[in-house]
Structure 1
Amino acid sequence: MKLPNGITGFYEQQCEPPKIDGKQFKQLCFSIIKNNGGTVLEFKAPTEETNFFDVEVNVFNKHFHILLNAHYPLLTFASVVNFGEINFIDEPHLYKEFSPFYSVLGTKELNEPFFQKDNEFNNAELKQIAYWKPERIGDVIFNYWD
């Protein structure tokens, strides 16, 4: 998977990456989860430490998170979201519901080893990658770097 410039949330002034519409994402989450008999427990926008939206939900008798990269329409699901620990999971039903709006990534893609070559990283990202040493592709797309 080729990762685009700014996906980590770090960039140089002249190369600012696009931003995801958080309002639209929030509306979609509430609508999709409610239509499936679930509840949105918390909606967190990206912070200085994170490069992703984090929506905590309870649906299908399960408690998990919906994550969306702040700069590119890349979405996934996780059972655990803590500093230094994101446990990606597959949610096939919600995959179908969100895929018309976002590229939904599965555990196979996100848990693949990360290799720095063949990506479009800027210098600010390269410095962060050298410091944090991500092991998986998912650690780059959804990170807690500050």
Structure 2
Amino acid sequence: MILKKGVTGYTGGDLSLECDWEARVVEFKRYSYMFVQQLKGEILEWYMADIDIGYAHTHIKIDEKELYIFHHNIYDYIAFTVNRDITGLEFIDHSLLKALFETRYEVLTAAQLAEPLVRQSKGSGNILLNENDLNDVELYYMDYFPAQTVGDLIFNYWD
């Protein structure tokens, strides 16, 4: 299951989801440099988590193609995109990077991230029919932010 409790960044006060974010970013950077260099690529730019985007990501170039590597801030999820447009991420699969990153992280596929969110009206709100373990806070805020796919939900820009 990908949609684990706290995956949206709203932990609902669950202290078990707390982690040393700085250490995780340092590790992500280290592995990114190592794996991109193994593929004779280069790191073009780093983007750190901030108030709007709660996940670190890097802009890279491999074989004259530019793409981005996203690292989830709570779970060790990695995803690849061709853009970093927070209103329309285009997730892709990259078999060479996947083979390297999956030795340490859970690499999410474009198909997993493109899965539509299926909601059903219930009372004054909606319930999510996709397999999930989201907390009440996450389910509440889903109705107020533009998430249409699993990828939108995981790599969101809710503030």
TM-score (norm 2): 0.84
- Cα 1:2/1:89, change in 2 over 3 Å: closer
CA shift, 1:141, in A, is: 1.1
Runs of 4+ in 1 over 6 A off after TM superposition: none
SS at match of 1:75: strand
The alignment status of 1:12 with 2:12, answered yes or no, reads: yes
Partners in 1 of 2:8 and 2:16 — Cα distance? Answer: 11
Partners in 2 of 1:13 and 1:94 — Cα distance? Answer: 34
Specify the alignment match of 2:116 in structure 1: 113
Which segments of 5 or more consecutive residues in structure 2 lack a partner in the other structure?
119-127
Which amino acid in structure 1 is aligned with residue 12 of structure 2? E
Partners in 1 of 2:2 and 2:41 — Cα distance? Answer: 34
Identity %: 26
Specify the alignment match of 2:143 in structure 1: 130
CA shift, 1:2, in A, is: 4.6
Specify the alignment match of 1:49 in structure 2: 52
Which segments of 5 or more consecutive residues in structure 1 lack a partner in the other structure?
none
Alignment of 1:38-77 (within 5 A): 38-77=41-80
Partners in 1 of 2:14 and 2:79 — Cα distance? Answer: 29
Task: Figure out how many residues of one structure are paired with residues of the other and give that number.
Answer: 146
Partners in 2 of 1:41 and 1:133 — Cα distance? Answer: 29
Bigger-Rg structure (1/2):
2
Partners in 2 of 1:101 and 1:57 — Cα distance? Answer: 19
Which amino acid in structure 1 is aligned with residue 39 of structure 2? N
- Cα 1:82/1:133, change in 2 over 3 Å: closer
